[in-house]
Every structure is written in C-alpha cells, then in structure tokens.
Chains A and B, each alone.
Chain A
Amino acid sequence: MEIIKDGRIVANDWRHLADDEILPEQAVTVSLLRWKSEKDRLLACGVPIGLRLNSDNGLEDIADDLKHFAVIVLEFRHFTDGRSFSLARLLRERYGFDGELRAHGDFIRDQIFFLARVGVNAFEPTHPANLQEMLPVLQEFTVKYQAAVDVKEPLYRRRK
C-alpha cells in the first residue's frame, strides 16, 4: 500500500491499529481513546507510535503528548466534514507539531490542495484512487491569497 508524502509516492510504513488489536512489533497509529487509556504501556513498548484524531477530537488536553508522535493521522469519516482543516492548522501553528501530518479516509482529490495548505503533508485515501493523478493537484493553484502553514505571509505582502 502506497501513500503520497511530501509530494512523492512512497510506501506506507505505518499500520493503523484497531483499539482491540494486540500491539505488533512495527510502527503503529492508535486512536486518541487508546492513547489516553494505554499511554504508559505504549510509550514503553519500543515501537514508534502515531496518533489518529477524529474531526471531533479536541487538541487542548493532549498538547503535551504531541512530542511522542512521529505521525498524526487526521481521520476523514466524510469529506464534507471540514473540522480537520482547523485541527491541522492548529497542530502546525499553535502546537508546533513538525512530524508527519496525514489525511486518511474519505477525503477527495479536490481537497488535497487545501489540505496541503493547512499543513497536511501525507495523503492516504481509502477509496480507490490513482495516486499518480493526485500529485499534480498539490499545485492546482499558484496563487494563494491567505497566509497559512505553507505560505507564512498573505499575498498582500508578496505582491510585486
């Protein structure tokens, strides 16, 4: 299984672990629920841990834990649910998360440009998708009016 990361198609080396699955000897992502209930055990197990966030999860109470994660996965249950766009931006801008930020689930190709702008750098769609066709969409627009994670200054400071 491959994903898009940093503008390239690469192998996916993370396994998304269900809450009732036994911890394997490989890099895994866990739900926020599992993280909260098994935090010490997970930290002690010696494999890299990533966190999966649903769009309705808050960030305020896990801010101090973010340093433990090499990847944070934003779960899209439905592509029209735009809450994860705010979570992504907050993770990058407010909480300083600089690991892999991955969109996973029911997002569509037409959202990739926006997602990249708010700080998502990896894309793992669940429905059948041609990753090769998705790559150019990252550059679908060359003009960006707003400051966001990718461009720190609004266009009015960059106009020539």
Chain B
Amino acid sequence: MYQYDNYDQTLVNERVAQFRGQTERFLKGELSEDQFRPLRLMNGLYIQKHAPMLRIAIPYGLLSSRQLRMLAHIARKYDKGYGHFTTRQNIQFNWPKLEDVPDVLGDLATVEMHAIQTSGNCIRNVTSDHLAGVSDDELEDPRPYCEIIRQWSTLHPEFSFLPRKFKIAVNGALKDRAATQVHDIGLQLVKSDRGEIGFEVLVGGGLGRTPIIGVTIRPFLEEKHLLSYLEAILRVYNRFGRRDNKFKARIKILVKELGKEKFTEMVEAEWASMKDDLLLDGNEIERVKAFFQPPSYQMLADDPLLAEKMAQDSQFAAWFRHNTFAHKVAGYRVVFLSLKTPGTPPGDLSASQMDMVADLADRYGFGEIRVTHTQNLVLADVRQADLYELWQSLKALELATPNIGTATDVICCPGLDFCSLANATSIPIANGIQQIFDNLDYLYDLGDIRINISGCMNGCGHHTVGHIGILGVDKKGEEWYQITLGGSSAKDASLGERLGPSIAKDQVSHAVEAIFQTYRELRLEDEAFLETVRRIGMQPFQERVYGDN
C-alpha cells in the first residue's frame, strides 16, 4: 500500500497542529460555533446526540495491521472500546471528547492516517473496489489513481468551500463494486481500442433526498488528463452549483437543471482552456503504482485438501461458500470477515477484535485489511491451505457468520441511537430482520439479497439502492418505515421503487418476511431476488405485505 514520504507526513502533522489551534480558539470563544462548524467538519468532527462523532479516513478502504491496531488504541483510550465502519469505507467513533480530538489526530498521524475531509462541503475520501488487485475481472488496479486523487484533493485551495459535499469513487473491474453510478463523480477504468488505459467519467449520481443515477459525460478520458478534467468539473460545480438551498446544492441537481448536454458543454469548455496546464505525468503514475505491486505470493496449486475439509465440516463448507471469494492467483482466496453477526450493530468492531484481526492479517494476509462499502472487512490474500485455521480463529472472534451477500448482511447507518439527524432507529430494524432466520437453510435459499437501512432520508445506509431498502421516517413522533424494492448500486444500477405506505416499527420484520415468501413462491428456477422483482413488479409484493393487514 501507499507509504508516506516526508511531504505527506509533514502535511498531516501540520494539519494536526492547525486543528489543535482551531479547537483551542473555539474553546476559548475566539471562534464562533458557526465559524468552527465547517472547520471541524473538514476534520471529520460532528456534534452528535451523545458526544462528538469523529470520522477517520480510510483511503479507498485500505488499512495496514499497524493502522488497525492504532484504531483499536483510539477506541480504547478516547472512546468506549469500539468503532463503526461506514458505507464509505471509513471508520467512526461515537464517543470522543472534543478537547481530545487533536490528540486523536496526533496519534493517527503517527501511522499515516488522518480525518481530513471526511465531512464538510469539500471533496471527501475517495472510495473504491474492496477487491482491487485481486479479482479476476479487473481491467486495471484503481488504487494508484485513488491515491493520486487523494493527494490532489487534500486541502485543495480552490475546492474546500463547495456548495455541498463531493464524493468520488473509482472502479477498475468489470463488475462495479464501488457504486460509481451513485457518486458525484464516478470513474470507471476502461481501455481504448488502441489498448490505452483511461476513464469513463460519470457525473451527478447520488443518494440522499433526491437519489439519481449518474450520467456519462465523457466515455473516454486519457489518464494524463485525469486531474485537469476533475478540476474542470469541480470548477463548474463550485461556480454554478446552487447555494440557496442546502437540499438542492449537490452536483446532481446542477446536472439535472442544466441538462446533461449543457453541463457537459460547460465542463468541456472549461477543460479546453486549461487541460494542458495540469498534465498527470506518466512518472507519477508509475511512482504511485509501485506502491500497489502484488505481495510476494508463493507458487501454489489450488489446495487439494480443501474439498476434504469441507466434506468433513459443514460449517466450514458454508463459511467457505459464502465468506470467501475467488482470487486471481492460484492457491489463494479472498476472505470476508462478517461484521453482521446477528444481534450486533452492523459494521461495529470492538477494540479487542481490531487487535486480533490485525494479528490475523499479519499471520495470513500480508498485514493488510480492507473495508468494504457494505461494512465488512476483507483479508484479500489468504493461502487456501490456511483457510481452515483462519476460519477457526474468526469463529472465536464472532467474525465468521457465513452470511456475506445474504439477507442478514445488512447495510445500516447508526440511526437514531447515535445520530442527531436521524428520524428513526436502524440498528434494531437490522437485528429484527436477522432474527427472522432461525436456520441458515432458509437464508441460503433466498440467495443474494441486499437489504439497506437508513434512519433518515439523508440515506447513509444507501436504502435507495438496496434490493430491499428500508427508510426510517418520523410520523408524529413515532418511528415508521418506508420500504422500497428493486434498487441496486451494481453495474445494472437502479433506484428502488416504493412498495406502499410506511409501516409501523413492530411490523417491519413481518413485512420483510412477507416479501421473502412472495419471492420464494413466484421466482423462476435459479432466479435471484432482484431479477424476480424486476420481472414481476411491485404488485404481488404489495398484495402480500398490505393484504395481510
């Protein structure tokens, strides 16, 4: 992974010093609440329900074991012993004290980490595919480009006070595992007819209040123009994006109001007048690529004993089938650590689990951990021969629930339990759905189902792109939930359609169960849930869910 040099380290150190000063000025009353707000947000610090919430950047979801141990230390020293991984591959701590935050940032800086631009109206932490570099459907590793974008966007002097937040995702594989179509800018690596690497540039996607699928404004952008094109888009947005209404300030609204053609024309005109002033050098691309070379894999054949172990141990077999993924190198396997153990808050990890996972990463995974946007962890490079041992260790840590990609692998925001924006709780809803499954056969029979839950329309739980989306709403002080069906953030991205009137909290699990039953009865052979929804539409589901009442 990328390693800081003196420049990168100095910048992060200077940022810690700056934030220490800003915090002191705020506590002394020299900065008003209004003045401090954007400054603290640009360092990932929210004022939440119980305490401040600090969001720490995990650039494109990549962590070293040393960094994960530091997160464990922070959880213990400054928080209540756990952290929450988010849908943007970051981690949040819910209980730090404001006056401690400069020290937290200081500790993070010692392991090349920071909280820069994890919130606020600026360019946020760039996200990517959690299987980058190891999946066999990859065209080009997106991580070097993510790092180049990270550096370009860090303390960008022109784009630090945008109309609204700005999120960029980069995907390098045929499958879109980075949800590029629902980002302010989505970059899909593509190859030209002549075999050159470049980007398809999508703009104006996003979730939240007005969910929109992004549109392609340039089918092929040469890699040397990456940064100038980003600057052109950002400049058009910074100048012309709406600032009169917070809810209409995202770039998606600008693209929608101008129309794709007009917006594209403005970007292209801006770009034409400066594109040669900011060329991304081949040398720089090579320099950064060198940090993402494959680890020193052993020459292995696929493990002949695997089948035997699976035959002997059905639990291991289930885990292998659901929580491991094909690796492009023979003899290796990608391992998912499920942070969706039923009954626990989705995405949470305790400090002791963090330490143990760091140890396992050192022993089995070249010391590297990835965070997925579905709030799980990945050890990307595990020898097949080590899988059984690793599984036993993960089981002891309660990180081996064999449910990746299934209905209990729920994406879920912190909700009303923690968040001051939320209208309703989300964690109890996730746990309620997990309780439907008293046996795994039922879960596996349903196959791949993505259930996403948000506690309010800001949509941190990505409910609009869940196969089943659940959105908490406030109805006269009571928690109600709106269900949508048919969303997806994959290559075939789509926004979920509303099933019907919102549902009382204690009825949500029943409704979800009714949706499962309808699917089981009406699916064609081997048809996945999303395909069935797309084929038969809402009506059969509506009849079952609302007809019961």
Contacts and interface: CB of A to CB of B under 8 A. Distances in A.
Contacts of B68: none
A96 interface: no
Nearest to A85: B158
Contacts of B11: 141, 143, 145
Contacts of A148: 157-158
Contacts of A89: 158
Interface string A93-112: 11000000000000010110
Contact of B14 (A87, A115, A117, A141): A141
B30 to A, nearest CB: 9
Nearest to A151: B157
A111 B122 CA distance: 13
A155 B151 contact: yes
A86 B287 contact: no
B238 A85 contact: yes
A10 interface: no
Interface string B282-314: 011001000000000000000000000000000
Contact of A111 (B5, B156, B161, B284): B161
B152 A140 contact: no
Contacts of B39: 110
A86 B161 CA distance: 10
A80 B160 CA distance: 9
B38 interface: yes
Given A82-B238, A154-B278, A140 B18 contact: yes
A87 B161 CA distance: 13
Interface in B138-155: 151-152, 154-155
B274 A93 contact: yes
A105 to B, nearest CB: 14
A14 interface: no
Nearest to B157: A117
Given A155-B151, A156-B287, A81 B243 contact: yes
B152 A82 contact: no
A86 B239 contact: yes
Contact of A85 (B152, B157, B281): B157
A82 B162 contact: yes
B7 A155 contact: yes
A37 interface: no
Interface in B1-39: 5, 7-8, 10-11, 14-15, 18, 22, 31, 35, 38-39
Nearest to B273: A94
B123 to A, nearest CB: 11
B159 interface: yes
Nearest to B148: A156
A89 B235 CA distance: 10
B525 interface: no
Contacts of A142: 10, 14
Contacts of B238: 82-83, 85-86
B161 A82 contact: yes
Contacts of A114: 155, 157-158, 160
A74 to B, nearest CB: 13
B384 interface: no
Nearest to A94: B273
B22 A82 contact: no
Contacts of B235: 86
A93 to B, nearest CB: 7
Say what secondary structure dominates the interface of chain A: loop
B277 interface: yes
**Range for the number of chain A residues in contact with chain B:** 20 to 34
Contacts of A113: 157
Contacts of A143: 7-8, 10-11, 14
Contacts of B227: 154
A118 B273 CA distance: 17
B224 to A, nearest CB: 12
A157 B273 CA distance: 21
Contacts of A87: 239
B429 to A, nearest CB: 35
B408 interface: no
A145 B158 contact: no
Contacts of B160: 82, 85, 114
A148 B302 CA distance: 52
A83 B239 contact: yes
Nearest to B240: A83
A159 interface: yes
A146 interface: yes
Contacts of B31: 108
A114 B39 CA distance: 13
A147 interface: yes
Nearest to B17: A140
B426 interface: no
Contacts of B239: 83, 86-87
B121 interface: yes
Contacts of A81: 161, 243
Given A93-B274, A145-B151, A80 B14 contact: no
B114 to A, nearest CB: 13
A148 B155 CA distance: 12
Nearest to A141: B14
Given A82-B238, A141-B155, A154-B278, A159 B35 contact: no
A80 B243 CA distance: 10
21 contacts: A85-B161, A86-B158, A94-B274, A110-B18, A114-B155, A114-B157, A114-B160, A118-B158, A141-B155, A143-B8, A144-B157, A145-B151, A145-B155, A147-B277, A148-B157, A154-B152, A154-B278, A155-B7, A155-B151, A156-B284, A159-B7
Interface of B: 5, 7-8, 10-11, 14-15, 18, 22, 31, 35, 38-39, 121, 151-152, 154-163, 227, 235, 238-239, 243, 273-274, 277-278, 280-281, 283-284, 287
Closest 7 pairs (CB-CB, A-B): A82-B161, A117-B157, A143-B11, A156-B284, A114-B157, A145-B151, A85-B158
